[in-house]
């Protein structure tokens, strides 16, 4: 069945927002390392066995946060998982609070008082040994930082875990390349040196990767993933838990401060709290994360396997699968049998759009073959049928979406389902064939849908589907869309990777402009300047100031 992709993605966003509010309230804390592990923590909490009503349940899995300064990231997931109330997050670092600057056992769900770096893995080895001696089925998950990997105790624990064959121990190394006041590769490199001025260049150069080699040499089974690709993390944890005979490490190559541009890859944000003035802008930025979803029917229909491989090579966020049945729409494409064939090609999430009649009768088949998100049309079901579809999909960890055609208003019966929806597709062409031009009225409709959903507690994303290209994607983003389907504009291009990079660049520009406008609304030109000045890495501040000036915001 599904991977739980949508719920993990939603929780990662929610966790980051909680960290922002908590560290701002405290006036101190560590948002950077909390953000870099947000997706990994979401996947860990999916796989772990625990009971928030009985935090000391004897057969629970144990989560050890060795990089204890990232405590806000742990506390945020304890809140999301029901160990504590979300409102308690704003007591972070307060006198008498259960939520201190490092994890403390007084907080339910915390298994280790993380203070001195480098000790968490040794503690994890001891717990794993004890559980095995007691024949306890509980497993140990440890999250380790790359900065603390400078310490010898980490490597002593690494040798011990291998010696004792601890296959009930899984380590996630948050490899974000930034430690307290500098970049890891300048302090004590874990990878090979990469020539040039970029201190984190090794992240993008696989030939320089040496970290996993070190752990492998100590007898560990190693897996390397992009630490912000949920599907890779989820797959790695499945493989790790199936491994027998010794410990497993997942090297999660991540970005410190991921999700907030001025914090990304910036050592300043290792241990610095955002100001109260910038919190609303940062929360807006987190909500503005976007994804691209190439639609493979715009490619060679006789070689859809090759089109899926192209999507993977191009770095797509999703593969968009348009299923047409010749009844709801006049054309036909493929059905669940073809999706079953395509699923082994890639682990990229499948965004399955069912343009079919009576979806309630066949949605189960599309879930069973590996769809991660399934969207059905409001025109093809009623409230009772959609309720059945949504309940079935969520019970099987598949995201649930609803789509409306250009001429279709949002049905009144949808109100009750909005808080549970993962996706809302605003069709900007008449469904049934690729290559149509974007219907300009869709801009206004998307804005209205965004307002409607926001007022009803929507936590998912709006997807723009139909005629989306480089000329209108910024406008679609400004309307409120956050996932962008591209047929001829992505799959139809000879160099899909280049087309996707261009699309992302345009989305980034639209996001920056929206944030500058939000800063101006909240604090005028003074706050706009303060916001731009935060972007110290990569010379971004000047280009953001230039954008602000062109928009008459400075």
Q: Would residue 279 count as lying in a domain?
A: no
In terms of Cβ atoms closer than 10 Å to its own Cβ (0-12, 13-18, 19+), residue 375 is buried
Task: Check residue 195 and give its pLDDT.
Answer: 83
Domain count, the chain: 3
* C-alpha to C-alpha distance for 192 and 206, rounded to whole angstroms: 10
- Same domain, residue pair 453 and 406: yes
What does the angle CA 362 – CA 368 – CA 372 come to, to the nearest 5 degrees? 100
The whole-number mean pLDDT for each consecutive block of 10 residues of the chain, a chain of 554 residues, reads 86 98 96 97 98 97 96 98 97 96 96 89 98 98 95 95 98 94 88 86 90 96 98 98 97 97 94 96 97 97 98 98 95 97 98 97 97 98 97 97 96 96 96 84 97 96 97 98 97 97 98 98 97 94 97 95
CB distance 173 to 251 below 8 Å: yes
With vertex at residue 402, the alpha carbon angle to CA 361 and CA 351, rounded to the nearest 5 degrees, is 85
**Is residue 152 situated within a structural domain?**
yes
Residues 460, 531: one domain?
no
Of 190, 342, 165, 321, the residue nearest 251 (C-alpha): 190
Candidates 108, 236, 240, 112; CA nearest to 169 is 240
CA distance 306 to 299: 9
Q: What is the DSSP letter of 489?
A: I
State the CATH number of the domain containing residue 242.
3.40.50.970
- Give domain status of residue 282, yes or no: no
Residue 3: predicted pLDDT: 73
Q: The sheet that has 399-404: what strands, in order across it? A: 291-294, 483-486, 461-465, 423-427, 399-404, 373-377, 350-355, 319-324
Q: 90 in helix, strand or coil? A: helix
- Cα–Cα distance for residue pair 294/297, rounded to 1 Å: 9
pLDDT number for residue 173: 98
Give 212's contacts (C-beta < 8 A, 6+ positions apart). Answer: 222, 223, 224, 249, 251
Which pLDDT value is given to residue 223? Answer: 98
Indicate if 206 and 298 belong to the same structural domain.
no
* Residue that finishes a domain, picked among 448, 467, 493: 493
Whether residue 278 lies inside any domain: the answer is no
In a domain, 377, yes or no: yes
CB 264 within 8 A of CB 74: no
Residue 434 forms part of a structural domain:
yes
Residue 225: how many other CB atoms lie within 10 Å: 25
Identify the CATH number of the domain in which residue 358 sits.
3.20.20.70
Query: What is the pLDDT, as a whole number, of residue 2?
Result: 66
Considering the domain architecture, whether residues 75 and 155 belong to the same structural domain is answered as yes
Q: Is residue 283 part of a domain?
A: no
CA 258 from centroid of its chain's CA atoms: 10
Residue pointed to by tokens 């968490």: 120
Alpha carbon of 505 to those of 11, 317, 338, 440, 509: distances in Å?
26, 15, 33, 22, 6
Q: Which residue range forms the structural domain that includes residue 404?
A: 290-493
DSSP structure class, residue 228: T
Same domain, 480 and 507: no
Q: How far, in Å, are 179, 265, 461 from residue 201 at the CA level?
A: 16, 11, 32
Q: Do 428 and 465 meet the contact criterion of CB atoms below 8 Å apart?
A: yes
Which pLDDT score, from 0 to 100, does residue 1 have? 54
Q: In terms of domains, do 106 and 204 share one?
A: yes
Domain final residue pick, 243, 271, 299 = 271
- 31, containing H or E segment: helix 31-36
Nearby residues of 438 by Cβ (< 8 Å), 6 or more positions away: 428, 429, 466, 467, 468, 469, 472
Cβ pair 283, 22 in contact under 8 A:
no
Say whether both 39 and 134 belong to one domain. Answer: yes
**Same domain as 499, residue 487:** no
180 and 322 share one domain: no
Residues near 554 by beta carbon (within 8 Å), at least 6 away in sequence: 525, 528, 529, 545, 548
CA distance 63 to 61: 7
Q: Is residue 430 part of a domain?
A: yes
Task: Mark whether 26 and 126 lie in a shared domain.
Answer: yes
Q: Are residues 228 and 264 in the same domain?
A: yes
What's the pLDDT at 194?
84
Question: What φ, ψ does residue 350 adopt, rounded to 5°?
Answer: -95, 120
Which of 460, 493, 526 terminates a domain? The answer is 493
User: Considering the entire predicted model, what is its pTM?
Assistant: 0.96
Together in a domain, 196 and 121: yes
């Amino acid at each position: 069945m599904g991977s739980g992709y949508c719920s993990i993605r939603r929780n990662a966003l929610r966790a980051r927002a909680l960290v922002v509010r908590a560290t701002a309230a405290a006036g101190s804390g560590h948002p950077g390392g909390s953000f870099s592990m947000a997706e990994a923590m979401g996947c860990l909490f999916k796989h772990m066995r625990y009971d928030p009503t009985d935090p000391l349940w004897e057969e629970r899995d144990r989560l050890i946060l060795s990089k204890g300064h990232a405590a806000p990231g742990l506390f945020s997931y304890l809140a999301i998982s029901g160990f504590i109330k979300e409102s308690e997050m704003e007591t972070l670092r307060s006198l008498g609070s259960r939520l201190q600057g490092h994890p403390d056992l007084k907080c339910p769900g915390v298994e280790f008082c993380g203070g001195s770096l480098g000790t968490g893995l040794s503690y994890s080895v001891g717990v794993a040994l004890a559980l095995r001696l007691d024949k306890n089925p509980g497993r140990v998950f440890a999250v380790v930082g790359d900065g603390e990997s400078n310490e010898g105790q980490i490597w002593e624990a690494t040798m011990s875990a291998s010696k004792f064959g601890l296959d009930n121990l899984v380590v996630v190394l948050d490899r974000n390349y930034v430690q307290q006041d500098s970049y890891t590769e300048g302090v004590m490199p874990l990878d090979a040196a990469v020539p040039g001025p970029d201190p984190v260049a090794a992240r993008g150069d696989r030939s320089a990767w040496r970290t996993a080699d070190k752990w492998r040499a100590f007898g560990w089974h190693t897996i390397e993933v992009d630490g912000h690709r949920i599907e890779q993390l989820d797959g790695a944890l499945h493989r790790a838990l199936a491994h027998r005979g010794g410990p497993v490490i997942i090297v999660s190559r991540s970005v410190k401060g991921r999700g907030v541009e001025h914090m990304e890859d910036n050592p300043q944000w290792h241990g610095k709290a955002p100001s109260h003035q910038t919190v609303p802008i940062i929360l807006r930025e987190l909500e503005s994360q976007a994804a691209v979803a190439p639609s493979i029917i715009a490619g060679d229909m006789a070689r859809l396997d090759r089109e899926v491989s192209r999507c993977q090579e191009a770095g797509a966020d999703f593969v968009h699968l348009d299923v047409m049945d010749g009844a709801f729409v006049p054309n036909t494409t493929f059905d669940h049998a073809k999706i079953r064939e395509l699923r082994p090609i890639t682990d990229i999430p499948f965004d399955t759009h069912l343009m079919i009649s009576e979806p309630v009768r066949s949605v189960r088949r599309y879930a069973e073959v590996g769809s991660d998100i399934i969207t059905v049309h409001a025109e093809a079901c009623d409230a009772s049928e959609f309720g059945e579809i949504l309940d079935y999909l969520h019970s099987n960890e598949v995201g649930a979406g609803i789509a409306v055609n250009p001429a279709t208003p949002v049905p009144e019966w949808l109100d009750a389902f909005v808080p549970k929806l993962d996706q809302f597709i605003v069709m900007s062409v008449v469904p049934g064939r690729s290559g149509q031009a974007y219907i300009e009225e869709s801009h206004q409709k998307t804005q209205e849908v965004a307002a409607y959903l926001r007022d009803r507690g929507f936590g998912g994303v709006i997807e723009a589907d139909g005629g989306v290209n480089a000329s209108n994607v910024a406008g679609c983003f400004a309307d409120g869309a956050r996932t962008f389907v591209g047929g001829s504009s992505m799959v139809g291009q000879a160099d899909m990777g280049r087309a996707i990079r261009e699309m992302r660049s345009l989305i980034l520009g639209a996001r920056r402009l929206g944030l500058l406008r939000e800063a101006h609304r909240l604090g005028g030109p003074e706050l706009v300047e303060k916001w731009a000045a935060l972007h110290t890495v990569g010379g971004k501040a000047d280009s953001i100031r230039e954008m602000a000036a062109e928009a008459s915001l400075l």
